[in-house]
Amino acid sequence: MSLKHKRTSARRTGRRAARPARRNSRPVRPVAVRPAQNHPEPYVSVIIPAMNEARTIAGVIAGARGVHPRCEVIVIVNGSADKTAEIAKSMGAHVISFEQPLGHDVGRSVGADAAKGEVLLFTDGDLVIPAAQLRPFVSAIRGGTDVALNDYSGPVRSRVPHPVVLSKYALNIMLGRSDLKGYSLTAVPHALSRKALNVLGSGLLSRPPLAYARALLEGLNVREVHKVPVGKLNAVRRKRGGRDPLQEIILRDHLDAVSMLLELKGERAGFSDGTRRREMVR
């Protein structure tokens, strides 16, 4: 019987020639298990506001735990009717609970007050983001950045631009930082240095556009560091009677940021009036 005939028979019967087992020359490294508790002397504080996020909070905390060996996770549970707080506690997070909703972004201020780390990393309880996508923000602060922004402007390719996107672009132009496009503290994840927190104060963080404008006006080192397209991760909000109350809050905060800028730098926000001789107009 020829060798060729033997191969054909093996294919028909489904038999295969036995192969010697391969030896793995590389030693198997044990998998490092992240501790399910906060470090007593944290270098990074991860701040997570959450309301009725029992479905996602475990994944959010798991990603947060991987940003640095000396990490604390702070979850601000407010207005929740589910098991968000219980799940967060079971994962070793420092949980600060409020029976009633705090309102948009107030949880950031509460978390910043409780934070012990030199780096404050902010995200949300409904955004499951892997640690690898969060570490660049921590690295940027360690490298001397004071405010590390998400390199994400929002939906910019729509035929009709989103009002919040327009307001972010306009504010950056007025602040003399058109290079930052539509980046701001409105979008998470982002990170602050302890220095930035001391300059801005925790209270201002509940109004991100004002905190952002103040950071630039105070000369803090603000830059975009990494893109996390959170628009694809966020759940679509229900509108009340065709109105988006959250959008209105954000736009109002941008208007107040512009007002603060004009108050500090004059009615033209530091921009030249060119060669106009307005005194000649009657």
* Domains by residue range for the chain, with CATH: 44-231+244-264 (3.90.550.10)
Sign of CA dihedral 237, 238, 243, 248: negative
| Whole-number Å distance between alpha carbons of 223 and 167 | 18
59-73 per-position pLDDT tens digit: 999 999 999 999 999
Phi, psi of 91 (to 5 degrees): -100, 15
Which of 238, 228, 247 lies closest to 124, judged by CA? 228
Structure tokens at 120: 């404050």
108-121 per-position pLDDT tens digit: 999 999 999 999 99
Mean pLDDT lowest for which of 19-33, 97-111, 165-179, 255-269? 19-33
Residues 30, 103: contact at Cβ < 8 Å? no
pLDDT for residue 124 is more than 50? yes
Residue 30's pLDDT is what?
A: 45
Sign of CA dihedral 270, 209, 67, 152: negative
Residue 198's pLDDT is what?
A: 98
Residue 159's pLDDT is what?
A: 79
Residue 239's pLDDT is what?
A: 59
Q: What's the pLDDT band for 277 if we cut at 50, 70, 90?
A: confident
pTM above 0.95, yes or no: no
pLDDT for residue 24 is more than 90? no
State percent of the chain over pLDDT 70: 84
Q: What's the pLDDT band for 242 if we cut at 50, 70, 90?
A: low
Residue 250's pLDDT is what?
A: 94
pLDDT for residue 222 is more than 60? yes
Q: What is the mean pLDDT of the chain?
A: 88
pLDDT for residue 223 is more than 90? yes
Residue 154's pLDDT is what?
A: 81
CA 244 to chain centre: 22
Residues sharing a CB contact under 8 Å with residue 182, sequence separation 6 or more, in sequence order: 153, 154, 156, 165, 168, 169, 172
**SS3 of 213-240:** HHHHHCCCCEEEEECCCHHHCCCCCCCE
Residue 12's pLDDT is what?
A: 45
pLDDT for residue 241 is more than 80? no
Residue 274's pLDDT is what?
A: 80
126-182 per-position pLDDT tens digit: 999 999 999 999 999 999 999 999 999 887 777 788 999 999 999 999 999 999 999
Residues 98, 28: contact at Cβ < 8 Å? no
Structure tokens at 84: 């968000």
**Residue ranges of the alpha helices (H) in 1-73?**
3-13, 57-65
Residue 13's pLDDT is what?
A: 47
Residue 3's pLDDT is what?
A: 46
The radius of gyration of the chain's CA atoms, rounded to the nearest angstrom, is: 26
Mean pLDDT of 183-211: 97
